Structure formats: C-alpha cells, structure tokens
Amino acid sequence: MTPVLSAVRAVANDDRVGLFDLQRQRARLESDLKARIDAVLAHGQFILGPEVEMLEKRLAAYTGAAHVMGVSSGRDALMIALMAIGVKAGDAVFVPAFTFAATAGAVVSIGASPVFVDVDPMTYNMDPADLELAIAEVEAEGRLKPAVVMPVDLYGLPADYVAIGKIAAKRGMTVLADAAQSMGGAAGNARVGALAPISATSFYPTKPLGCYGDGGAILTEREDLAERVRMIRSHGRQGTGDAAMVLGLTGRLDTIQAAVLLVKLDVFEVELDRRRVIAARYNHGLRDVVGVPVMPDGLRSAFAIYTIRVPHRDRVRVLLDEAGIGTGLFYRLALHEHPAFRHFDGRRLAVSERLTGEVLALPMHPDLSDEEVDRVIAAVRAAMAKV
Ligand SMILES: Cc1ncc(COP(=O)(O)O)c(C=O)c1O
C-alpha cells in the first residue's frame, strides 16, 4: 500500500492525528449520503444520470463558469481539455515543474511536449517571469509551437492568472488551469473555474470537494470547447448519436459519484471556512519556527493541503511520526526528476528543486479539532527544537 493510500484509508485513531480523515466527514453526512446513493440505485441510470446534470448545474452556479462537464478524474479532465483545445504532437504546453505527475502526464499522453517552468519562491505557483523566458526559448529553438499554458493552483492557492493570461494572450496561446487542488479557491470576487478560459478539477477523495472514487470536472466559458468536451468524454459521440465525430474516450463522471458530491457541495462553504481557520491557526502557531504558506491579498486558497517549509525535512518528518502526527510530501520530486519525464528536462528549475527537499504537509481536513491542531503545532515546535 502506498503512503498516500494509507492516508486516505486512515480511520480516526484517537492517538494519531492523520494527514487526512474521510471517516469523520462520512459519519457527519451519513444519512444524506445513503439517501442520495439509494436514489441512484433505485433509478438505475448509472452513467450520465440526473445527479450528474444536477451537479454540473450547481457547480456552474457556484463557480460562475458557463459550462461544467463531469468527467472520470482530474487527469482525464486535463487530457480531455487539451484534446478539446486541439493540442497535438509538436505543440508545447508550459507547466510548472513543481506539481503532481498527472499535470505532465496528461500532456505527454496526447503526444504534446511539456515545457517545465520554475515556480515563485513565495507562492510555489508558476513564475510568470520564467514562463516568459521558457516561451522565448521555445520560440528561439523553433522545434515546438507554443500552444497552451497550464498553471497549477498548488495546494489550493490560485495561480497568477492575470499575469499569465497577458503573456498567453500576446501569443494567442490558451490558458488551461490545472485546478485539481483548488475548487473553492478564489481571486477577488471570481471563483476557481472562472479564472481561466478553461479549467480542470479533481474530485479525488482527499480533495476539498472529493467523491468516493475517481472523478473530475471541466469548467469553461467557451461553448465550442464545452461541446467538444461532451463529445470526447463519451466516445466522441454527439448527443445520442452513435457516430464517433471525434476521437473520444470513456471519460464520464459516474452517477453515484455525482450523488456523493451533491451532498458534499451542500456543506462545502462551511468546510472551506473551517480549513481556512485551521490554516490561520497553524500560521499563527508556527510562523516563527518554520516557513508557513503565504496568504496573498485578494487570493483565497481552498487549503487542499497545508504545507510548511523546513530544513532537515526528513528528520522532522520522522520526529512528527513518532509524536503521532501524519505528514505528507507534496512533492518529493519535481516533474523533470520523474523517470517518465526526464527526457523533457533542459531548463534551470532551481526553486522547484529546492522545494522538493523542504516541503512538509501537515494534517488538514475540516474535521480537525482545535486541540488536534494545537497538538500538531506543539509537535512541530518540539521537532524544530531538536533538529
Ligand atoms: C495538481 C494535480 N493535477 C492533476 C491531478 C490528477 O487528479 P486525479 O487524481 O483526479 O486524476 C491531481 C490530483 O491528484 C493534482 O493534484
């Protein structure tokens, strides 16, 4: 079992504070979850049933995106969005080097080439200045065509879409937001899903809005892209037609997952508020001993993950484990350090490389009590005194 899976499955254990805990939320929502799932079992429309459409409409209203399409996972959301945009072999897709492997995987699986961009040392999101450099390098080399910029809203904090949007617009490039971690985040009055022309999110169980399996969604303001996404997620077929109009895949969100998400959407804002209160409590209790997340003015993080930055990270992690505190490493490898993506390397990615050795995720979920947060803070402070 991988560490991530064991964290997902962690059942509340009174002595340990888990990195994630889905069981407390399940207990809180149990009767509504059962009623929604039972309704799906009774009507039997397991693929693209009424709950999927209901969820898509509610997410459109919540985010401000004109069109929302439920799909099979966050990675599939990225891949389908790239296919809908028309990205192909010979195209360059600019992605931050410090993110989950799926960001690059989606690009490579449609035959395009990821170009790794370094991240900002404060927000850990794509650095617009390095994006400019990377595009100039690709243009000078002349081998690939700059096509798409794919920023990631790391840990839930929206990327700098204003600066990145300007850079992309100058060259006619499309911005596709990898918003897998940031549903519920916002910039000013605009929510994630409406910060870029097209966004992809994930409903993986531990995400702020998570289902009980794999799931994701694509959100867009563009009717043409929405139409193509609907075809691609369903074998390339248009509506009820049987002809494959474009190359498609089995990429739909299933109805039972949509039913689970409808229940969780009812309490989503309350849970997000709790995540932010926990993050503020951590920041207050830890800012003098470790690097804590920045909370830039005007940006609202969904706090999918709460990450500190520490020297001697692996030693601190062992000490926290001994103190009964679950932690996670997001991410131990930058994209160009994964064997699958090494051959796309070639740029200087100093900030990303440094972060991989220093980041440490602390327990974060809406059912953490203040006492548990304080236990984590005390344990981190004690560990820092020892290293
Ligand atoms: C930044 C990022 N992109 C893409 C994905 C892929 O999402 P999924 O696991 O739903 O395929 C994830 C999630 O795990 C992620 O964190």
Token code pair at residue 6? 């064991």
Q: What are the residue ranges of CATH 3.90.1150.10 in the chain? A: 3-27+267-386
Q: What separation in Å is there between the alpha carbon of 308 and the centre of ligand 1?
A: 20
- What pLDDT score was predicted for residue 346? 81
Among the four given CATH numbers 3.30.450.90, 3.40.109.10, 3.40.50.1970, 3.40.640.10, the one describing domain 29-265: 3.40.640.10
- What pLDDT score was predicted for residue 8? 42
Token code pair at residue 136? 């100039």
Task: Establish whether residue 154 lines the binding site of ligand 1, counting it when its CB lies within 6 angstroms of any ligand atom.
Answer: no
Which ligand 1 atom is at minimum distance from the Cα of 216?
10
The CATH architecture annotation of domain 3-27+267-386 reads: Alpha-Beta Complex (3.90)
Q: What separation in Å is there between the alpha carbon of 383 and the centre of ligand 1?
A: 31
Tell me the CA end-to-end span of the chain in Å, nearest whole number: 30
Q: pTM score, two decimals? A: 0.96
Give start and end residues of each alpha helix (H) in the chain. 3-9, 22-43, 50-63, 74-85, 101-109, 128-141, 161-170, 223-232, 255-266, 268-286, 313-322, 350-356, 370-386
CA angle 311, 312, 315 (to 5 degrees): 145
Q: Which residues neighbour 382 within 8 Å (Cβ) at sequence distance 6 or greater?
A: 319, 323
For ligand 1, atom 13, name the residue with the nearest CA. Answer: 180
- What pLDDT score was predicted for residue 210? 98
- What pLDDT score was predicted for residue 13? 52
Place of tokens 């449609």: 110
What does the mean pLDDT of the chain come to? 95
Burial class (CB in 10 A: 0-12, 13-18, 19+), 297: exposed
Token code pair at residue 32? 């509504």
**Taking a C-beta distance cutoff of 8 angstroms, is the pair 229, 69 a contact?**
yes
Task: Establish whether residue 75 lines the binding site of ligand 1, counting it when its CB lies within 6 angstroms of any ligand atom.
Answer: yes
Q: Give the residues of the chain that fall short of pLDDT 70.
A: 1-14
Residue 332 carries which DSSP code?
S
pLDDT in tens, 41-52: 999 999 999 999
Q: What are the residue ranges of CATH 3.40.640.10 in the chain? A: 29-265
